[in-house]
Structure 1
Amino acid sequence: MVRTIMANKTQFKMTKYKRYLILLSGLLSLAAMETKAQTAGDNTYSGRVTNAKGNSMQSVLVTVKRTGVATSSGKNGEFAIAGTPGDTLVFTRNGFRSIWRVAGKSSAMSVIFAESDVMDTEEDYVGIPFGKRTKRELNYAVSSASTDDLPKLPISNLTSLLAGRYSGLLIQLTGHQPGTENVGFQVRGKSSYTQGGDPVILVDGVERDFSDMDVTEIESISVLKDAAALNWYGLNAGNGAILVNTRHGKPNQNFITFDVLAGFQSASKYVKPLNSYDFANLYNQGLSNVGQSPAYNQAALDAYKNHTDPYLFPDNNYLERFLGKTAPVQRYNLSLGGGSERVRYYTTISYYNQEGLFKETKTDDYNANFSYKRYNFRVNLDYDVTKTLSLSLLAGLRSERRYDMGDRTSGVLNTLYNLPPNAFPILNKDSSYGGTSVYQNNPLGQIQSTGTYNVIANVLNVSLAAKQKLDIFTEGLSANIFFSYDGYGNYSHGFTMNYAVVNQAVTPSQTYRTPAVLAYRYAGFGTSTKNNEVWLGLDYDRVFAQKHKINASVRAQQSMSAAVDRIDYRGRLFVARADYGFNDRYFVGFTGSYSGSENYAPGRRFGFFPAVSAGWVISDEGFLKGAKWLNYLKLRGSYGRTGNLAPTYDANGNWVRLPYRALFTRGAGPILGSSFSSTTTAYEVSPTGNPLTTWEKIDRLNIGADLSLLKNELSLSADVFTEKRIDILNSANMPGILGVGVSAVNYGQASSKGFDMGAVYQKHIKDFHFLLNANFTYAANKILRQSLPSGTLAYQSPVDHNIGNVALSGTKRFYVSQGLFQSQDEINNSPKQTLSGLVVPGDIKYKDVNGDNIIDSRDAVNTDYTDIPNVYYGFGLNVRYKLFDISAQFQGVHGRTIDIKPVVYAGPNGLNQLSKEAWTIENAATASYPRIGITDNGNNTANSDFWLRSGDFLKLRTLEVGFSLSEKTANRLRMQSARFFVGGFNLLTISKLGSGIDPETPDAGIGSNYPYMKTYTLGISVKF
């Protein structure tokens, strides 16, 4: 039966890939025909593009809006493009306002560009909290981009697509399991050594998660980096902010798009397991190294090698049998948008489905393979009720469904990775599950006989906004109200079941575990969370005498988050923002917020956080007007104090809510009375509260410049920043005589400084258009002050070192290694190593740091090794030639360190393929790792720099190659446009590590973690 299932699956896979190949070959044939059709097309519009002086303009991009077909003007400003009457032609060039022309019956047209150093078209606006500014007006440090160029790849975590695209923003994957991929964020590194530190995510101005949104829901993303931008959110954006704006309909631009994508994810980068023969040999070697007798005699080794008895001497490859190399993934999306000048709408519906890697999961009762399904629905409506009153409704709904086996994915992976290959036969001769008293988890039993565990999670995000113009009082004044409601709930259900395992290698046979028949699992609702915010305020936008421009806003906000299993979170905020521009050349601004939280003691809950900014468009000055090499240059700067509502943890790492309060608990008291019975009493919990607890304070300075060169083909933005953070929460070192500790004290200090920059270069040459983007960030941090336990040695102090611990080891204090001991004489003539009871040749040799001739805890040294890179960068390209296009985006990091010890010691009893590189007498001079030790191996497993490796990498994050139908063919098919494409995610990694370890997620494929995944997809996007 198993062989039949495997054969059917193999046949299905071959059929599936054949379908992909046939479809791909068909697309290539169609591409060839369409290229020829376009060349021979006779519906052509031609003309000449000039500036206001009549001079020809080269490299102006001409796009047919309906189809996306594009060309560019030549040296004489001339262009020619296929189109039909009624088409809208869009003429764009960086640094100039876009021009739209409707094609008529005449095929000739003339287009004149009005010169402007910086565009003020819609594409040139940057999203800021509850507002927009043109790049010319903006003094803030903001990285922004439209999401139109993001690939529509079928991956469950949208944030992964942003990696390497924004200066100052680091996005790091930390897991690969479908639907639960973890992604970490950092804005300009990290300047606090407390837990947390992620930037706040704001969707349409409200703190929300956007990782499980569909890419079609999002219009733009801005990364806020300096005090002038962040202080709008008071205490809630001390670590930076990511501002996400959803799409809205445009008047008289009606459309329907439909996307279909299908592909597969491929598992890679996990350490291969050992077969039974190699495992037994290495196990014997590990015992011999510590003077113990071998566990397997020669007869057993021969039986494993020759497979003479698969029941007494099994040889299992669990990964090959139960974990597939690929898993299918698919995504479907339908979007509608448009409307009139008075009513605009945008609606999108999408479905995403990703299967797990497990095999042999189907039974007569259920399929236990892990899968993740998601349904996204969004509707955004904008309605101008009157000429002065406008309303907006923004509603998003997501339903996520996770289907898992009863022992969960992590439990099954733990067995597959860590069960010895010779532990037992998976099935005994009588088809019962194999097992022993030590190993009672049978992987086939876990997959097929533990039932299912399914979770449905629903998320509702709703925002209502109203704007009333108050020009009757003064021109440019408006009143605003904004209300949001977010609800989250989950529902779990499934089946329960259990199985027995039988050890038939002993007489009489032994049975373990208690079998249970299939039954319904308890079904019920889990966590239910409700969040809401209310914003009330006024805006004032006005221009006086065509030279003085004022943009001002004032808001009051109240927020609340409620759940049945915790105390509600509440916050209040009063904020004002004012920006003034003179002659569209000189700009100054102020942002200030008065923000508070109930997490602090009464009377200490609110603080004021001001910031100022200024900008100067120096290229408008007379002394630079004649500079032909320079098209635009703006200098800007900001300075301010920001607050950060940091989480509080006690000395044991437990999160503390309301840290200013002293808590009491109930327990046994003194023994009283004639019966000597104990009483019940109450006593103060240690650590006790600290009423002086307050927020972190951050002083931020940012100086930046924006410029355009080479006739606006090259755009650059660069910022230098520095910040100092004080009042970082530390564990309190109280004298033991007090008998009680304090939860935390505001004592720590840290600093961060660096620079970031972004660049875009685009060029249009006839039918060829390309755009290159690049960004670079350098951020160095240092701990200036931290409370430490008494007696801490100077070289073990973290002060004056950087922030962050080494990945996988969770520390930055290491012993200094000096190679491997090669002989007993070398051990005898070296300082005594006390980290383990046994030190033999092949063990790691450590440096005696304090010179006492003993290696102990006082020889561990605090270092600057960290998992937080001090450099991260990205670069990419978008190239289009006639009907073909290609895009790619790379991401890289530098200055990151990982600990490979958990990888080397992964697998059953710490043995895997890497164990073959361990020290022996024969390979003593070339061994990569210490000798194998089954027991008494503490000397080699101690945290030391022997195991540290560079975590630097360069990754090809996304790649997409597309082909579009010509306008003529699309019209025949009653479509505006159609595009076919192939793409991938995480396709290539360049690093100094071996092929079995990923530098970004080194724990992928070990322990109980999902393997590293790559994504390949084929899709079509049609627009009507």
Structure 2
Amino acid sequence: MSEKKIFKNFRLFLALLCLSYPGFANQAPQPSKQDTSQVKLIKFLVLDENDIPVKGVSLNNLRISSSVQTDSLGMAQLTGTINDEIQVSLNETFLRKYLVGANQSQIIRVNGKNLMVMQQKAVVLTNDILISPNMTTGSTQSVYNSDLVKFPVTSIKNALPGRLTGLYTNQTTGRPSVDEANVLLRGQNPIVLVDGIPRDLTRIDLEEIESITVLKDAVSTAMLGLRSSGGVIAITTKKGIVGTQQITLTAQNGLQSSLKTPKTLDAYNYALLYNEARVNSGDLPVYTPTDIEAFRTGSDPIGHPNVNWQDEILKENTKFMRYDLTFRGGGSVARYYVGVQYQKLGGQLVESDINAYSTNSSISNYTIRSNVDINLTPKTILGLHLFGKISNSNHPGNFGTDNIFNSILNTPNNAYPIFNENGSYGGTTQFQNNIYAQTVSSGYSLNYRRDIITDLTLRRSLDEVTPGLWAQALVSFYSGVSENTNRSKSFAVYKQTGTGVAATYQMFGTNGTQGNSTGTDFQNRQSYLEGAIGYKRSFGLNNFDAQVRVTSDNVNSGSELGLNYYGGSGRVSYNFDERYTAEFVVGLNKTNRYPSSTPMGFFPAAGLSWNITKEKFMPKLSWLNDLKLFASYGRTGNDASGYFVFQQFYVGSPSSYFFGTSVASNAALRQDVLANPNVTWEKGDKFNLGIKTNLFNNKLFIQAEYFNNKYSDLLTSANLSTIVGTSIRNLNVGVNRYNGFELQMNWQQSFGKFSYFLSGNVSTLQSKVVFQNEVFRQFDYQSRTGLPVGTPFGYIADGLFQSQTEINASAKIAGYSPVPGDIKYKDLNSDGIIDQFDQAKLGTDNPLVYYGATVGFSYGGLDLSVLLQGVANRNLLLTGNSEWEFQNGGFGQAYEHNLNRWTPATAATATYPRVTVGNNFNNNIVSSFWMHSGNYLRLKNVELGYTIASKFTEKLKVSSIRVFVNGTNLLTTSAFDRVDPETYGGVYPIQRVVNGGLSVKF
């Protein structure tokens, strides 16, 4: 196939910009002679068909063996001259899907007259400069496959921390199958799009993902209408390519270990502290000196047990496995990508040989994706994209994993032995659920989940009508089902009294009652229809890109009635001479969850951008390669109405009420929660302003943005129940505002075979409650309006009472008589009484700051990357069983930090109040005493890899072999380091994973 024909089928914009020498463009090609007298820098810009920069394309000047890769802006530069041959290596991860009619790489001869005809024909040729106009003004940022697959995780959300500005993540549990991080995009919950279709499915194979892009401002999301306010996480899966078939096999195995868990007291310290707490509570001690000595020496493991439940129940390490096999290739008629994956995460719970089945908490995933694109005619492409996933998760029987962790918090180490002398499970009247028995002898439960997706796309070029015109139709179906199988069983525990042959056993519970049931947890369905027509063309320096879409998205979730989003959207962009871009977007849609008389929602947005470096008045600065300003403003929507809240419902009642008198009735009805007949969607008015630049021969990239978003018509409590006498649905009355700054910086540089990169990003987020229908509060410091959204309220601690004299001189606590060692609170209204009128905001109201930094290098076949991720100005409120001593009615656990309690001897250094049994009315309430800094910095990910030289792999008949080791959540430093800053409160801890793998390409 000729070079000219190859490049007619390029599906990317590859611009060769010959810099600084005006006559260079007018040099005639001299095929027979190499002109090295005019050596200049040749600049490359690589964008995909959506004008999104493509990172990682390899460019090599064959004459001087100098190579470079495109950066995150799709830019790179090489030293060269006329007739140099530049090899463009279309690596599998980012680029080869766009090239039709070529193999792994192509040769471009620099002759000053290169003409590349693109599929969309939205290219302007000015002398030798091939222009790729940037047709969007929106705020977007992407992360690519090569960064995602470094994470040994099951959810894509767990591979995003620290990668993208504006995206805040918080992982609250490490339990397999539910360990997905919570994500907020500029403070809002983003919608997930998979290949342009709304999907609530993020546990997919990382290998099948080409890129993940976040869309943050109004102009980039307004086409989604009612679902545009939260922003978008757009997942693009891999597609087929034209060329020799590529087969890639990747095998990985790793070990998981838990991060921090609550440190409980051993039996000896527990008994001492419990006696002290009893005395402090006005009761007598329960443990004698003999008891305490037996706990200390371990001389009586049955009568005086000391069981470290975390050591006995939790494994030190568990396994992680992932295997991927992918096929990619095709010809001029059909292209394909097929990927299959098996993944397994082992659970942290111990198992026993007494069972022929697993009682652990674990999950296995089987995934397959097939993306096939077929040229039915030269102008018609049919896309058939299939996805299937099977997830099998296992859990302990009746009690489940979360209940077992809760039992660890509620069970002291001296409560009972695991086993009695006769091998039976230990227990007492108070503690009848032996934790070990819960783990290994309560049977098991299974969850089976199946997800199937079919996307069918038909795209037709209408160049015969007018060049640049196209039409597309899309039909997509999703079906998901989740089934639970219960194979739980009961067990009995025994309290042993005495020892040896004189021992007696008191039984609690029953043995061997077997549960045996299967039921559907949920069954979800979705059908998505879309029709689109677009136009993309250039006329001289004028570039146009427009499209109109109509969509219908029908979702059936469980037993609920169907939810249907329907409407249309449009987008038009105009660019002049790569200097000025104007963009207008509109979404027009609604759902059936609003009254039929409600008009469609109208969500317009507009954006402008200005490439200053293209202006004639701009001086030609060697260190300034690009400078662009962009701004957007628009309205977005959020469908938060709920399940037909505009309809009034009535429920059965055994009696009716007339004028306060109850009248018996067999058919009485009473009004349920009062409906909101005027319910409407929440609205977001978003402003975005940004600047981005390339400096120092494109080694340094900087992008900075400011956003200010106002969210109105928020569904919040009307606070009218006491007036109307019944509960009322939330009303569209709330107004919140979010604003912040985002900064991204990338630096990369090469020295021969050695190259390195540094990148960092930081985001700030400040929120404010502008309005809510707030109840009357007597004091301004108790008002929620004007404070950050979600600000917690409580009492303001003022240290610990040190003496009765200090107590007598302080404000009285309503309903409680404090003693030395209790928490002292500030009397904010100066009335001499501590009561509900002294509650105020807790924690910092400074903007939340979250950031990430990546550093790495490559030399020959060796490569290393390191990712740091952190958060600042974050509040951490610790209460409940993992913080307070002797909860659970006074029978609960106690912890090492409780030893720092106040006593007369430790009054000057105590960091914890005096200990008491059960709930303390004064100390165990929400206050600033329990508020800590949640700031932290994690070594989130490290990967070290080595690609074996080609001279060895050629002998093995393979394309490449790469061995690697990586890890996630390796180290953490935090301002308050007693707990993990993300998972605390006795939940399944986040896992540290150390992983090794081998990737072979055929």
TM-score greater than 0.5 by the shorter chain: yes
Mapped contact 1:251–1:340 kept (Cα < 8 A): yes
Mapped contact 2:494–2:507 kept (Cα < 8 A): yes
Out of 854, 858, 862, the residue aligned to residue 833 of structure 2 is 854
Could you tell me how far 1:51 is from its partner in structure 2? Answer: 11
User: What does 1:157-176 align with in structure 2 at a 5 Å threshold?
Assistant: 157-176=155-174
In the superposition, relative to structure 1, how do residues 69 and 490 fare at CA in structure 2: closer, same or farther (>3 Å)?
closer
Mapped contact 1:820–1:930 kept (Cα < 8 A): yes
In structure 1, the partner of 2:759 is 773
| Stretch moving more, 660-669 or 50-59 | 50-59
In structure 2, the partner of 1:909 is 892
Could you tell me how far 1:740 is from its partner in structure 2? Answer: 3.0
Could you tell me how far 1:57 is from its partner in structure 2? Answer: 4.1
In structure 2, the partner of 1:54 is 38
Task: Write out per-residue CA displacement over residues 441-494 of structure 1, whole angstroms, 9 at most, x where no aligned residue.
Answer: 012221222111011101112211111222232222222111111111022225
Answering whether residue 936 of structure 2 is matched by residue 956 of structure 1, we say: no
Answering whether residue 477 of structure 2 is matched by residue 485 of structure 1, we say: yes
Structure 1: how far apart are the matches of 2:388 and 2:133? 33
Answering whether residue 95 of structure 2 is matched by residue 100 of structure 1, we say: no
Answering whether residue 856 of structure 2 is matched by residue 878 of structure 1, we say: yes
Mapped contact 1:962–1:981 kept (Cα < 8 A): yes
In structure 1, the partner of 2:435 is 443
Answering whether residue 868 of structure 2 is matched by residue 890 of structure 1, we say: yes
Answering whether residue 350 of structure 2 is matched by residue 355 of structure 1, we say: no
Structure 2: how far apart are the matches of 1:113 and 1:752? 52
User: What does 1:243-392 align with in structure 2 at a 5 Å threshold?
Assistant: 243-392=234-383
In the superposition, relative to structure 1, how do residues 513 and 969 fare at CA in structure 2: closer, same or farther (>3 Å)?
same
Mapped contact 2:593–2:641 kept (Cα < 8 A): no
Could you tell me how far 1:114 is from its partner in structure 2? Answer: 6.4
In structure 1, the partner of 2:103 is none
| Stretch moving more, 662-671 or 235-244 | 662-671
Mapped contact 1:120–1:134 kept (Cα < 8 A): no
In structure 2, the partner of 1:701 is 687
In the superposition, relative to structure 1, how do residues 101 and 570 fare at CA in structure 2: closer, same or farther (>3 Å)?
closer
Mapped contact 1:276–1:304 kept (Cα < 8 A): yes
Relative to the length of structure 2, the TM-score reads 0.87
In structure 2, the partner of 1:809 is none
Answering whether residue 140 of structure 2 is matched by residue 142 of structure 1, we say: yes
Could you tell me how far 1:270 is from its partner in structure 2? Answer: 1.0
Answering whether residue 254 of structure 2 is matched by residue 226 of structure 1, we say: no
Answering whether residue 184 of structure 2 is matched by residue 186 of structure 1, we say: yes
In structure 1, the partner of 2:930 is 947
Structure 2 counterpart of 1:278, one-letter code: N
In structure 2, the partner of 1:513 is 509
Tell me the secondary structure at the aligned position of residue 729 of structure 2.
coil
Structure 1 counterpart of 2:38, one-letter code: G
Structure 1: how far apart are the matches of 2:212 and 2:682? 27
In structure 2, the partner of 1:20 is none
Could you tell me how far 1:91 is from its partner in structure 2? Answer: 8.8
In structure 2, the partner of 1:577 is 571
Relative to the length of structure 1, the TM-score reads 0.85
Answering whether residue 635 of structure 2 is matched by residue 641 of structure 1, we say: yes
Task: Write out per-residue CA displacement over residues 746-797 of structure 1, whole angstroms, 9 at most, x where no aligned residue.
Answer: 1111212222122221111101011222112122111111112234532111
In structure 2, the partner of 1:832 is 812
User: What does 1:405-424 align with in structure 2 at a 5 Å threshold?
Assistant: 405-406=396-397, 407-424=399-416
Could you tell me how far 1:596 is from its partner in structure 2? Answer: 0.6
User: What does 1:982-997 align with in structure 2 at a 5 Å threshold?
Assistant: 982-994=965-977, 996-997=978-979
Structure 1 counterpart of 2:450, one-letter code: N
In structure 2, the partner of 1:819 is 799
Structure 1 counterpart of 2:582, one-letter code: V
Mapped contact 2:162–2:853 kept (Cα < 8 A): yes
In structure 2, the partner of 1:808 is none
In the superposition, relative to structure 1, how do residues 899 and 885 fare at CA in structure 2: closer, same or farther (>3 Å)?
same
Task: Write out per-residue CA displacement over residues 249-285 of structure 1, whole angstroms, 9 at most, x where no aligned residue.
Answer: 1211531111011110011211222111111111001
In structure 1, the partner of 2:533 is 538
Out of 600, 607, 617, the residue aligned to residue 606 of structure 1 is 600
Mapped contact 2:935–2:976 kept (Cα < 8 A): no
Structure 2: how far apart are the matches of 1:887 and 1:301? 53
In structure 1, the partner of 2:666 is 680
Structure 1 counterpart of 2:338, one-letter code: T
Out of 911, 930, 934, the residue aligned to residue 917 of structure 2 is 934
Aligned length: 917
Mapped contact 2:523–2:557 kept (Cα < 8 A): yes
Structure 1 counterpart of 2:710, one-letter code: K
Could you tell me how far 1:152 is from its partner in structure 2? Answer: 3.5
Tell me the secondary structure at the aligned position of residue 784 of structure 1.
strand
In structure 1, the partner of 2:907 is 924
- Give the structure, 1 or 2, with the largest relative contact order (CA under 8 Å, sep 6 or more): 1
Structure 1: how far apart are the matches of 2:1000 and 2:45? 23
Out of 471, 484, 491, the residue aligned to residue 463 of structure 2 is 471
Mapped contact 2:409–2:892 kept (Cα < 8 A): no
Tell me the secondary structure at the aligned position of residue 589 of structure 1.
strand
Q: CA RMSD in A?
A: 3.2
Structure 2: how far apart are the matches of 1:924 and 1:698? 52
Mapped contact 1:154–1:352 kept (Cα < 8 A): no
In the superposition, relative to structure 1, how do residues 343 and 565 fare at CA in structure 2: closer, same or farther (>3 Å)?
same
Structure 2 counterpart of 1:164, one-letter code: G
Structure 2 counterpart of 1:870, one-letter code: L
Task: Write out per-residue CA displacement over residues 976-996 of structure 1, whole angstroms, 9 at most, x where no aligned residue.
Answer: 1111111100111121112x4
Tell me the secondary structure at the aligned position of residue 255 of structure 1.
strand
Could you tell me how far 1:355 is from its partner in structure 2? Answer: 0.9
Could you tell me how far 1:311 is from its partner in structure 2? Answer: 1.2
Structure 1: how far apart are the matches of 2:923 and 2:231? 41
Structure 1: how far apart are the matches of 2:542 and 2:712? 39
Structure 1 counterpart of 2:654, one-letter code: A
Tell me the secondary structure at the aligned position of residue 587 of structure 2.
strand
In the superposition, relative to structure 1, how do residues 946 and 57 fare at CA in structure 2: closer, same or farther (>3 Å)?
same
Tell me the secondary structure at the aligned position of residue 929 of structure 2.
helix
Tell me the secondary structure at the aligned position of residue 504 of structure 1.
strand
Structure 1: how far apart are the matches of 2:261 and 2:547? 53
Structure 2: how far apart are the matches of 1:149 and 1:119? 32
User: What does 1:714-753 align with in structure 2 at a 5 Å threshold?
Assistant: 714-734=700-720, 736=722, 738-753=724-739
Could you tell me how far 1:210 is from its partner in structure 2? Answer: 4.2
User: Where does structure 2 lack aligned partners over 5 or more consecutive residues?
Assistant: 1-32, 47-55, 79-84, 91-106, 124-130
In structure 2, the partner of 1:7 is none
In structure 1, the partner of 2:28 is none
Task: Write out per-residue CA displacement over residues 600-619 of structure 1, whole angstroms, 9 at most, x where no aligned residue.
Answer: 22222521111111122211
Mapped contact 1:96–1:113 kept (Cα < 8 A): no
Tell me the secondary structure at the aligned position of residue 820 of structure 2.
coil
Structure 1: how far apart are the matches of 2:920 and 2:519? 47
Answering whether residue 837 of structure 2 is matched by residue 843 of structure 1, we say: no
Structure 1: how far apart are the matches of 2:983 and 2:784? 25
Percent of aligned pairs sharing the same letter: 30
Mapped contact 1:71–1:79 kept (Cα < 8 A): no
Mapped contact 1:362–1:448 kept (Cα < 8 A): no
Task: Write out per-residue CA displacement over residues 293-333 of structure 1, whole angstroms, 9 at most, x where no aligned residue.
Answer: 10101111111112222111111111112211111111100
Out of 957, 968, 980, the residue aligned to residue 974 of structure 1 is 957
Answering whether residue 560 of structure 2 is matched by residue 566 of structure 1, we say: yes
Structure 1: how far apart are the matches of 2:337 and 2:760? 32
User: What does 1:18-167 align with in structure 2 at a 5 Å threshold?
Assistant: 54-57=38-41, 78-79=64-65, 94-95=75-76, 99-100=86-87, 112=110, 136-167=134-165
In structure 2, the partner of 1:85 is none
Structure 1: how far apart are the matches of 2:44 and 2:885? 58
Task: Write out per-residue CA displacement over residues 719-763 of structure 1, whole angstroms, 9 at most, x where no aligned residue.
Answer: 221121211112113264533342121111121222212222111
Tell me the secondary structure at the aligned position of residue 65 of structure 2.
strand
Mapped contact 1:391–1:465 kept (Cα < 8 A): yes
